[in-house]
Amino acid sequence: MRSRATAYPLVAVLGWGVMFPILASALNRVDPLNLTTARYLLAAVVLVAILLLREGAGALRHGGRALEVVVLGVVGFAGFNLLTNLALEHAAPQQVSLFVATTPVITQLVRWARDGVRPKPLLLALSLVALLGVGLVITRGSLAGLGQFGLGGLMMIGAVLGWGIYTHGAGRFGEWSPLRFTTLTALAGTAAMLILSIGADAVGWQHAPAAADLVAVTPQLGYAAFVGAVIAVLAWNLAARPRTMSQPQSGAVTDPIAVTDPVAVSAR
């Protein structure tokens, strides 16, 4: 169990870490909103196909939880991915990766704020050290480097907060398989991205990509969709709730942090 708790988030982090420089290169041909939307349209098709094959059409029903699914999908998928792609226009991919690495820490704080569950002192101390380390790397150990945060850094704080809320929310869907939760929230997020992209194209904030542009970024889209949006997200959501895999699916996991943050596991 512990090996899986470490392996799943490692797969997700590695998949995402490689993705940021890949996406940055694609932004030379396609605007951020359209790139994100194209990526998740592809990923959504794959996720729905896998869900239908494994669990049948009934798994596409929301079971009376449509509002919760839509909110988490919009905050997690649309919020995180749109802000990340926009941040790549203002910050280096290495900085974006560093911000994403703070997701487990941010999720702990979200859980503390929403559930009143305070992290243990050692875990809280280690989390603060991790945040300090990220700050030192971005600023290169100098207060003069605070300007490195800028607009891109602010966008990434919002992106990571959105993904932290999404990860925390996954703990309330213990009766659903990770595949079902990922697919339905991804569909909601993709719908929001599509609406935003169409609106942005209509008012001239960005321009709909030409077919030649999409062909030119096909390798980047392929990696970002299949590895970054399907494999990595599924691995992350598997990591958030592995305790339900060997138990009857009767309730939600109460502590997703214990399995999305290897430091948290060792601290306990």
pLDDT of 264 reads 40
pLDDT at 44 over 50: yes
Model pLDDT, residue 72? 94
1 against 61, higher pLDDT: 61
221/241: higher pLDDT? 221
**pLDDT tens, 133-180?**
666 666 666 555 545 557 777 888 888 888 888 988 888 888 899 999
Q: What's the pLDDT score for residue 144?
A: 53
Reduced 3-state DSSP string for the chain = CHHHHHHHHHHHHHHHHHHHHHHHHHCCCCCHHHHHHHHHHHHHHHHHHHHHHHHCHHHHCCCCCHHHHHHHHHHHHHHHHHHHHHHCCCCCHHHHHHHHCCHHHHHHHHHHHHHCCCCCHHHHHHHHHHHHHHHHHHHCCCHHHHHHCHHHHHHHHHHHHHHHHHHHHHCCCCCCCHHHHHHHHHHHHHHHHHHHHHHHHHHCCCCCCCHHHHHHCHHHHHHHHHHHHHHHHHHHHHHHCHHHCCCCCCCCCCCCHHHHCHHHHHHC
